[in-house]
Structures are given as C-alpha cells and as structure tokens.
C-alpha cells in the first residue's frame, strides 16, 4: 500500500519539508547580515578586543580581509603540506567506520530475524553505551573528578527523557 497524492500523510510530509526548507532559507538569509567576515567589521567588539584579535592574526601571518587576497601560491602550499593529507586520512579513518557502523548495523540486526522496526530500535543501545563511555572518559581525563562524570550522564538522561516524552 503506497502513498497517493490525496492521502493526508503525504500532504503532511510535503509540508514538513517545505517548512524545514523555508526555515533554512530564512536563517541563511539572516546570517548574511549577522555573521561578520573579520574582526575589523565586528561591531560587538570594542577597540581593545579588535586590536588584540587582529594583532594575534598578524602574528600568525594573516592580515585584515582588506589586505588579504587569494593567491595560487597559498593554495599550492596547502596542497604540498603533509598535514593536509594526514588530516584527510584521519578523517577517513574516523568517518569510514562510523558510517559503516551506522548504515549497516540495522541490516546486520535484521539478519538475526528481527523486524525492521525492532532492528532500528536495537541500534540505540550501542550508541547510548558509546555516548556514556566517551563522555565519562573525557570527563575523567579532563577533570579527574568524579562529579564531572555524572554531568554528561544527567544530560543524556534529560535528553532521552525529552525525546521519549515528545514521541
């Protein structure tokens, strides 16, 4: 049984995408005037803050956007830098397994005899366990205090509770 044009669920589905698309377009349009290009143009910074930021950028080899031009020499230098390619390999090493796990875990669980809905729901526990383990590990590494371990768990519980109540 497919969705035909007259079904209310199809109409609601279209309205959802239209509203999400409109929100994206509106936010994108507003961001053109609200996001500043460089500290020179930031009206929310005072003169001292602008001076500090611009002097740090100058010490890093950057100038104001009024003085910077796109040069082929800079592009070629970035293409010759080994750190560019190392970053690409690190990103592929993280993204490949992550997307492989995310995309194929429901199929793997489905092959155990579960329905597709059950398979989707059974993908939640590994992610929940990973979120708790990562947040706890980072908290312990960063603060080395037990109370900081509980804060991410509280956030996960609150977020999950909101999600459950919303459904």
Q: What is the per-residue pLDDT for 2?
A: 47
Model pTM score: 0.45
* CA distances (Å), origin 139, targets 36, 122, 123, 142, 158: 33, 27, 25, 5, 18
Q: DSSP per residue over 74-129, as a string?
A: HHHHHHH-HHHHHHHHHHHHHHHHHHHHHHHHHHHHHTTT--HHHHHHTTHHHHHH
pLDDT tens per residue, range 150-162: 666 677 777 777 7
pLDDT tens per residue, range 30-61: 998 888 878 878 888 899 998 998 888 888 77
- Between residues 32 and 6, which one has the greater pLDDT? 32
Instruction: Tell me the domain boundaries of the chain.
Output: 69-115, 123-167
């Amino acid at each position: 049984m497919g969705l035909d044009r007259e079904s209310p669920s199809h109409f609601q589905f279209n309205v959802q995408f239209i509203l999400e698309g409109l929100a994206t377009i509106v936010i994108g349009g507003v961001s053109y005037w609200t996001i500043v290009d460089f500290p020179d143009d930031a009206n929310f910074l005072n003169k001292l803050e602008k001076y500090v930021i611009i002097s740090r950028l100058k010490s890093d080899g950057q100038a104001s956007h009024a003085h910077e031009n796109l040069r082929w020499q800079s592009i070629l230098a970035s293409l010759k830098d080994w750190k560019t390619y190392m970053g690409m390999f690190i990103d592929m090493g993280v993204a490949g397994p992550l997307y492989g796990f995310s995309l194929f875990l429901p199929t793997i669980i489905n092959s155990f005899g579960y329905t597709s809905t059950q398979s989707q729901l059974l993908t939640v526990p590994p992610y929940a366990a990973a979120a708790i383990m990562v947040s706890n590990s980072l908290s312990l590494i960063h603060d080395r205090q037990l109370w900081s371990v509980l804060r991410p768990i509280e956030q996960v519980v609150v977020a999950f509770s909101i999600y459950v109540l919303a459904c």
